[in-house]
Amino acid sequence: MSLLDVVGPVMVGPSSSHTLGALRIARFAYKFIGEMPESVNFVLHGSFAETWKGHGTDKALLAGIMGMHPWDERIREAYIIAKNSGLKYKFTFEDLGEVHPNTVLIDAAKNSKTYRIMGSSIGGGEIRIIMINNVSCEISWEYNTMLTVIRDVPGALERILRNLTVNISNLYLRRTNALGKIATVIIETDEEIPPDDRKKISENPCVMDCYYVRRD
Amino acid sequence: MRFSDFIKNCERNEVSLPEAILRAEMEETGVPKEKLKDSIAKVFEIMMKEVESKYGKKQRTLTGMTGFNGYIMSQHIPRMIGEFNHIAMVAALSMAESNAAMGRIVACPTAGACGVIPGVFFALKKVKNASQKELLVDFIVAGGIGWIISRNATLSGAEGGCQAEIGAAAAMAAGALTYHFSGDAEKCGHAAALTLKSMMGLVCDPVGGFVEVPCVKRNGIATQIAIGAAEMALGGVGSVIPFDEVVDAMRRVGRSLPESLRETGRGGIAVTPTARKIVEKVKSNNI
């Protein structure tokens, strides 16, 4: 914890775990999709499901999926803003299994593409994204994060790394579909991954999808 | 890093306490001191702007359990305490209620304990006419004390109970007040130690799990403990147990608190008959 973490952050209350953390998970989803989705369903689990309205978790999630910053005082009016901007939203409650008590599953759709992102708020506003599009992962969003879906063939990873001009902090590779020969690579970096690198990587024939979420 | 390291650095390099704190942070993170100071100043300005605009206002909180206490106390003419304490109390209540009303706050050191520091700083500004520049230096002292607690114990109610949130906030405030009036690093340590000892073992027992009861009023009352401890330290009353050792004790106490008393809403006042009734009502209102 740095001095700045002790004296901050600036945020909208009331709770760093139930408000700030919730907003950051939804804001990650917003950044991952690249824009506000057309429709979204928030599936609340555990403590999120129990005390959601009293902590403003619902408003924080809506604000986050619309791309608001944690210190935006319009979070309070998230319902009205969502309605005015035509966002279709829903809150449901479900036991999501053996996950942190403060967990939400975000099902969103944009341009006939669907996104499924699960995240946990683990305290002090810190989050972990634990699943993206049915692939389990562990993303803290403390780094710039690139997620690529690749063909599970020899040399695929090497071809991605070849186009990367910045230092890698963390790297994960996981086979996600043995039958379809699909794997997922998550790359976390301190430095921003240059647009040129990303372009080259996404043009790579081994790469089926490439998402990039800049550190907030 | 311990508080005694700060003191050693002050003596060895003949620098002030806030300077020693900034240097220690710079050594750890590599962020240049001036840049760090600018970032802290931005947070500080927002905190002061918010307390100025919310002071003594009625606010609509999420559950309605609080929201009017800052206003009530601002209308009350104090019978015992002076202007300084009164303003600190009203400001702390107002900021804690703003937090519960989804207002913008500075989580210094946490959202639930966000009233104490702006409380005493607003009193310094209004009653002692302290300049923004002086206050920023005091604010760095508060941050340094919180930093020591975060490193050697915790600032999380879920881990260490309310002593780690409002207790820590009050210790930070007491250190800042003592620095403002004396510039004496050792006295700051005494003020922080006296405060933390007075709040040791304080449990985190929010009614319904919501950050309102008893959090809001605890913020207001904690300013009074901080001011009292700072006054003692300024007068020359020291803590027999050094601040670093008090922090160690606080960590151990926090670990021995049962889970029911660590932000779960399943112990303390949260399970009293009245609390249960209130929670039922709040939930039936679809909150």
Q: Render pLDDT for A120-177 as a digit per residue (tens, 0 to 9).
A: 999 889 999 999 988 889 999 999 999 999 999 999 999 999 999 999 999 999 888 8
**Three-class secondary structure of residue B16 per DSSP:** coil
Collect all residues of chain A within an 8 Å Cβ-Cβ radius of residue B208: 51, 54
Residue B206: name the closest of B195, B194, B215 by CA.
Answer: B215
- Interval B121-147: pLDDT, tens: 999 999 999 999 999 999 999 999 999
* Tokens 């009016």, residue located: A77
Task: Give the distance from residue A75's alpha carbon to the nearest chain B alpha carbon, in angstroms.
Answer: 8
Amino acid at site B253: V
Residue of chain B with shortest Cα separation from A72: B104
pLDDT band at B264 (very low <50, low <70, confident <90, very high): confident
**Given this model, what pLDDT does residue B76 score?**
98
Contact in structure between A213 and A144 (CB atoms under 8 Å) = yes
Residue ranges per structural domain of chain A? 3-139, 144-213
**Three-class secondary structure of residue B254 per DSSP:** helix
Collect all residues of chain B within an 8 Å Cβ-Cβ radius of residue A22: none
The Cβ of residue A134 has, within 10 Å, a number of other Cβ atoms equal to: 10
- Residue A118 buriedness (CB in 10 A; 0-12 / 13-18 / 19+): buried
- CATH fold group of domain A3-139: 60s Ribosomal Protein L30; Chain: A; (3.30.1330)
**Given this model, what pLDDT does residue B287 score?**
57
The Cβ of residue A177 has, within 10 Å, a number of other Cβ atoms equal to: 13
Query: Which CATH architecture fits A144-213?
Result: 2-Layer Sandwich (3.30)
HSE of B173 in the Cβ direction (CA atoms, 13 Å)?
Answer: 38
**Given this model, what pLDDT does residue A2 score?**
87
Biggest alpha carbon distance in chain A?
Answer: 51
- Interval A15-36: pLDDT, tens: 999 999 999 999 999 999 999 9
> How far is B212 from B19, CA to CA, in rounded Å?
36
Contact in structure between B188 and B135 (CB atoms under 8 Å) = no
Cβ neighbours for B8, distance < 8 A, ≥ 6 positions apart: none
pLDDT band at B286 (very low <50, low <70, confident <90, very high): low
Cβ neighbours for A118, distance < 8 A, ≥ 6 positions apart: A96, A99, A103, A104, A105, A106, A129, A130, A131, A132
Minimal Cβ distance to A3: which of B36, B98, B287: B36
**Three-class secondary structure of residue B36 per DSSP:** helix
| DSSP letter, residue B4 | H
Residue ranges per structural domain of chain B? 3-284
Residue B259, beta-bridge partner list: none
**Given this model, what pLDDT does residue B282 score?**
87
Q: Is the Cβ pair B40, A59 closer than 8 Å?
A: no
Minimal Cβ distance to B108: which of A7, A19, A47: A7
**Three-class secondary structure of residue B260 per DSSP:** helix
Pure H helices in chain B: 3-13, 17-29, 33-54, 69-75, 83-100, 116-128, 132-152, 157-160, 166-182, 185-199, 215-235, 243-256, 273-284
Q: What is the dihedral of CA A67, A73, A79, A84, to 10 degrees?
A: -70
> How far is A140 from A41, CA to CA, in rounded Å?
22
Average pLDDT, chain B: 96
Collect all residues of chain B within an 8 Å Cβ-Cβ radius of residue A54: 62-63, 208-210, 282, 287
The Cβ of residue B72 has, within 10 Å, a number of other Cβ atoms equal to: 12
**Given this model, what pLDDT does residue A124 score?**
84
Residue B104, beta-bridge partner list: A12
Contact in structure between B39 and A3 (CB atoms under 8 Å) = no
Minimal Cβ distance to A15: which of B46, B61, B111: B111
